């Protein structure tokens, strides 16, 4: 069970003067159960890439396989694919439309043709998974805070029981607490259910803290595909493509440059703290 | 006299249910006093729903106070005759550039503001050029905004405001949608405007690292300005900020964690250099 991208390319406005490569010969394997971070500067092809994973965009070259089957072969059930590869867009709260939270989350599973009972069970479970308080289930989604609206939107996708959950910048615009709460919830859900999560983010700190694999996109190609520790060793290359390393990694480099005996490969606060304590002889 | 002055500013709105019946009154801004000097760089922090955007919208007369008064360059925002002058003096940049771009071509979009002000054509083009250069978008001047990424669009929106030569720019989470490089560029452009052109900056953000360059930080909670001080004074209070759903820069957090483990460090460390020095390097 996996997603395989085999030499996938995508050219926007092919055969016109405006033709531009959005993806260039991308080869990736996404096995079950990974927590993947997808990073890249704006316009690097991240959003184009994720829209290929659930068949919203058709590659202009190459093939995409989901659980061994070519998703663009004739007769392949795209609707089912989209329920199994759930995509939460940026600012998903703009897509809320129902009169109350619970109805909004029911929309997806009901559209799958599930029974009313199953639909409601799934909506209930999805809202629980994102930590949405029960007393607000029958409120209008438009009266909620930014963080709560976003939870509802994520629950709407979770209610389809996807095997792969793709989140395109789920914390943009949220306050720091709201950001941590949502990411903690997603990390917990990933552990609990074993689904694959692909997190698109511009925060190197969040990526370092949560994922076990990072895919770095640049100009439509995969630049790096490795563990956070390995990827963040390439500070200079990342900066050249508009990215960065986590702030703590910069801090350790500064300390080392000034003569402190620290390693510079820590990517999270906890690791950096341990590293400095050790260097101070307090570890 | 300050460029922005508010005293006992209150903004209330009536909450309505589905049928439009009044359910209650929400006080989004609650007796806020503000005095921002020309050329000052003020950052406003606060969790979602704390009232910071509502406060910001008073500064260029998008919202009007329910009680109290707010003056921009001495002009009361409630006096209709001043509205256009106020909006030209206090330009606003919002989070989502898609709602701010109207032109078919980047340079036309940036020229829209000055053209509306009746600036002579030759000067409009000069302003468009300098504004686009200030945000690093000059090479895209002939592009269609629709073809740009979110980050690029945002820099065009900022150029559009700069082209009006405002004395004050209010930026409401301008970097929320940008990649690390886009964030760096926008913040660099904002600081340059502040330091070189002496433009007053009001920056609303959830990125704590962007705040360390500010002269002053205001923290909002439930419509009130609950904390005020220099970045160092504010970020020295890690636990209080966490209670307010906020954060501190990672270096400040790291120093705070080390201090808790017994490493003798001062509060409110704001840079790697400061941390190194405090550790004796």
* Residues of chain A above pLDDT 90, percent: 83
Nearest to B251 among A147, A251, A258 (CB): A251
Q: Which two tokens stand for residue A46?
A: 């991240």
Q: Which two tokens stand for residue B190?
A: 């904002």
Burial class (CB in 10 A: 0-12, 13-18, 19+), B23: exposed
Residue of A43, A45, A236 for testing the chain B interface, max B β-carbons within 10 Å: A43
The 10 Å Cβ neighbour count of residue B190 is 25
What residues of chain B lie within 8 A of the CB of A140, using their CB? 18
pLDDT at B24: 87
Residue of B15, B24, B54, B254 for testing the chain A interface, max A β-carbons within 10 Å: B254
CA B116 vs. chain centroid, Å, equals 24
Q: Which residue of A has its CA nearest to B144?
A: A18
Return d(Cα A90, Cα A79) in angstroms, integer: 21
Asked if A256 has any chain B CB less than 8 Å from its own CB, the reply is no
Task: Give the minimum alpha-carbon distance from B15 to chain A in angstroms, rounded to a whole number.
Answer: 9
What value does the mean pLDDT take over residues A215-240?
A: 96
Question: Is B278 inside any structural domain?
Answer: no
Q: Between residues A220 and A143, which one has the greater pLDDT? A: A220
Asked if A259 has any chain B CB less than 8 Å from its own CB, the reply is yes
pLDDT band at B197 (very low <50, low <70, confident <90, very high): confident
How big is the CA angle at B194 (ends B193 and B195), to the nearest 5 degrees?
100
CA B45 vs. chain centroid, Å, equals 10
Residue B149 has pLDDT above 80, yes or no: no
Residue B203, domain extent: 38-66+73-231
pLDDT band at A77 (very low <50, low <70, confident <90, very high): very high
Residue A94 has pLDDT above 90, yes or no: no
pLDDT tens-digit profile of B69-105? Answer: 999 999 999 999 999 999 999 999 988 777 888 889 9
Question: Is B243 inside any structural domain?
Answer: no
pLDDT at B15: 82
Interchain contact, A277 vs B258, CB within 8 Å:
yes
Q: How many domains does one find in chain B?
A: 1
pLDDT at B135: 79
pLDDT band at B268 (very low <50, low <70, confident <90, very high): very high
Asked if A41 has any chain B CB less than 8 Å from its own CB, the reply is yes
How big is the CA angle at B43 (ends A270 and B12), to the nearest 5 degrees?
115
Please name the residue that has the structure tokens 């820099």.
B155
Q: Can you give the CATH number for the domain in which B147 is found?
A: 3.40.50.300
Q: Between residues A105 and B162, which one has the greater pLDDT? A: A105
Residue of B23, B173, B245, B256 for testing the chain A interface, max A β-carbons within 10 Å: B245
Q: Which two tokens stand for residue A119?
A: 């639909």
Interchain contact, B276 vs A255, CB within 8 Å:
yes
3-state secondary structure A55-84: CCCCCCEEEEEECCEECCCCCCCHHHHHHH
Question: Is B5 inside any structural domain?
Answer: no
> In B, what residues contact A, Cβ < 8 A?
15, 18, 46-49, 95-96, 148-152, 173, 176-183, 206, 208-209, 242, 245-247, 249-251, 253-254, 257-258, 261-263, 272-273, 275-276, 279, 281
- What's the mean pLDDT when you consider all of chain A? 93
Nearest to A273 among B150, B246, B257 (CB): B257
pLDDT at B83: 93
pLDDT band at B8 (very low <50, low <70, confident <90, very high): very high
pLDDT band at B184 (very low <50, low <70, confident <90, very high): confident
Q: Which residue of B has its CA nearest to A172?
A: B176
Return d(Cα B110, Cα B132) in angstroms, integer: 8
Question: Is B89 inside any structural domain?
Answer: yes
Task: Give the minimum alpha-carbon distance from A26 to chain B in angstroms, rounded to a whole number.
Answer: 21
pLDDT band at B47 (very low <50, low <70, confident <90, very high): very high
Which residues 6+ apart lie within 8 Å of B47 measured at CB? Answer: A175, A177, A178, B221, B244, B245, B246
Task: Give the minimum alpha-carbon distance from A232 to chain B in angstroms, rounded to a whole number.
Answer: 14
pLDDT at B151: 72
Interchain contact, B275 vs A280, CB within 8 Å:
no
What value does the mean pLDDT take over residues B187-192?
A: 87
pLDDT tens-digit profile of B244-257? Answer: 999 999 999 999 99
pLDDT tens-digit profile of A166-207? Answer: 999 999 888 999 999 999 999 999 999 999 999 999 999 999
Alpha helices by DSSP H, listed for chain A, are 46-53, 78-84, 101-111, 116-129, 146-158, 176-193, 204-210, 228-231, 235-240, 247-257, 269-279
Return d(Cα B64, Cα B77) in angstroms, integer: 7
Nearest to B181 among A41, A146, A251 (CB): A41
Count residue pairs from A and B with Cβ separation < 8 A.
123
For the stretch B69-76, contacts whose Cβ atoms lie closer than 8 Å and that sit 24 or more positions apart, written own/partner, are B69/B6, B69/B7, B69/B8, B69/B9, B70/B4, B70/B5, B70/B6, B70/B9, B70/B34, B71/B4, B71/B5, B71/B6, B72/B3, B72/B4, B72/B168, B73/B3, B73/B167, B74/B1
Q: Which residue of A has its CA nearest to B262?
A: A282
Question: Is B197 inside any structural domain?
Answer: yes
Task: Give the minimum alpha-carbon distance from A90 to chain B in angstroms, rounded to a whole number.
Answer: 9
Asked if A178 has any chain B CB less than 8 Å from its own CB, the reply is yes
Return d(Cα A28, Cα A8) in angstroms, integer: 9
User: In whole angstroms, how far apart are CA A247 and each of A143, A239, A269, A279, B209?
Assistant: 36, 13, 9, 19, 9
Q: Between residues A13 and A137, which one has the greater pLDDT? A: A137
Interchain contact, A254 vs B151, CB within 8 Å:
no
pLDDT tens-digit profile of A14-72? Answer: 888 877 889 999 999 999 999 999 999 888 899 999 999 999 999 999 999 999 999 99
Strands B67-72 and B4-16 turn out to be antiparallel
Q: Between residues B182 and A7, which one has the greater pLDDT? A: A7
Nearest to B257 among A140, A242, A269 (CB): A269
Task: Give the minimum alpha-carbon distance from B161 to chain A in angstroms, rounded to a whole number.
Answer: 21
Question: Is B120 inside any structural domain?
Answer: yes
ipTM, interface predicted TM-score of the complex: 0.86
Nearest to B281 among A41, A99, A260 (CB): A260
pLDDT band at B278 (very low <50, low <70, confident <90, very high): very high
Task: Give the minimum alpha-carbon distance from B240 to chain A in angstroms, rounded to a whole number.
Answer: 13
pLDDT at A147: 83
CA B2 vs. chain centroid, Å, equals 17
pLDDT at B112: 93
Chain A segment 236-255 residues within 8 A of B by beta carbon are 239, 242-244, 246-248, 250-251, 254-255
What value does the mean pLDDT take over residues A241-267?
A: 95
Please name the residue that has the structure tokens 């904390």.
B227
Question: Is B267 inside any structural domain?
Answer: no
């Amino acid at each position: 069970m996996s997603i395989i991208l085999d030499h996938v390319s995508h050219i926007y406005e092919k055969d016109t003067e405006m033709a531009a490569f959005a993806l260039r010969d991308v080869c990736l394997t996404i096995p079950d159960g990974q927590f993947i971070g997808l990073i890249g500067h704006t316009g690097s092809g991240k959003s184009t890439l994720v829209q290929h994973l659930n068949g919203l965009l058709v590659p202009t070259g190459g093939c995409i396989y989901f659980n061994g089957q070519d998703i663009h072969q004739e007769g392949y059930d795209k609707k089912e694919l989209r329920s199994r590869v759930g995509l939460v867009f940026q600012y998903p709260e703009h897509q809320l439309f129902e009169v109350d939270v619970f109805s909004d989350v029911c929309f997806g599973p009901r559209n799958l043709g599930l029974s009313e009972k199953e639909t409601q069970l799934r909506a209930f479970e999805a809202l629980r998974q994102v930590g949405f308080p029960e007393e607000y289930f029958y409120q209008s989604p438009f009266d909620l805070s930014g963080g709560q609206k976003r939870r509802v939107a994520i629950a709407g996708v979770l209610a389809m029981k996807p095997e792969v959950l793709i989140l395109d910048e789920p914390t943009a615009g949220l306050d720091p607490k709201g950001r941590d709460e949502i990411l903690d919830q997603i990390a917990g859900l990933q552990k609990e259910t074993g689904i694959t999560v692909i997190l698109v983010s511009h925060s190197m700190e969040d990526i370092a803290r949560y994922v076990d694999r990072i895919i770095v996109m640049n100009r439509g190609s995969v630049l790096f595909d490795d563990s956070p520790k390995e990827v963040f060793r390439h500070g200079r290359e990342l900066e050249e493509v508009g990215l960065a390393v986590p702030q703590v990694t910069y801090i350790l480099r500064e300390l080392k440059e000034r003569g402190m005996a620290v390693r510079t490969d820590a990517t999270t606060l906890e690791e950096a703290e341990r590293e400095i304590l050790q260097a101070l002889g307090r570890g | 006299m300050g460029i922005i002055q508010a005293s006992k500013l209150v903004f209330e709105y009536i909450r309505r249910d589905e049928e439009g019946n009044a359910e209650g009154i929400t006080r989004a801004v609650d007796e806020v006093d503000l005095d921002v000097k020309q050329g000052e760089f003020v950052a406003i922090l606060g969790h979602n729903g704390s009232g910071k955007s509502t406060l910001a919208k008073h500064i260029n007369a998008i919202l009007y106070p329910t009680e109290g008064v707010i003056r921009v360059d001495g002009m009361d925002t409630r006096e209709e005759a001043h509205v256009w002058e106020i909006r030209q003096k206090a330009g606003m940049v919002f989070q989502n550039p898609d709602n701010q771009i109207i032109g078919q071509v980047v340079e036309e979009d940036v020229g829209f503001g000055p053209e509306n002000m009746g600036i002579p054509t030759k000067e409009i083009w000069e302003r468009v050029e300098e504004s686009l250069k200030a945000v690093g978008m000059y090479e895209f001047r002939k592009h269609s905004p629709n073809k740009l990424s979110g980050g690029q669009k945002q820099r065009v929106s900022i150029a559009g405001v700069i082209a009006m030569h405002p004395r004050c720019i209010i930026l409401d989470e301008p970097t929320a949608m940008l990649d690390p490089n886009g964030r760096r560029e926008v913040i660099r452009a904002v600081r340059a405007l502040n330091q070189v052109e002496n433009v007053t900056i009001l920056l609303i953000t959830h990125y704590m690292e962007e705040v360390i360059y500010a002269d002053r930080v205001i923290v909002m909670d439930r419509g009130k300005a609950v904390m005020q001080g220099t970045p160092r004074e504010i970020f020295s209070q890690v636990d209080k900020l966490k209670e307010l759903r906020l954060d501190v820069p990672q270096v400040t957090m790291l120093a705070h964690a080390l201090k808790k483990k017994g490493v003798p460090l001062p509060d409110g460390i704001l840079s790697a250099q400061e941390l190194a020095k405090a550790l004796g390097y």
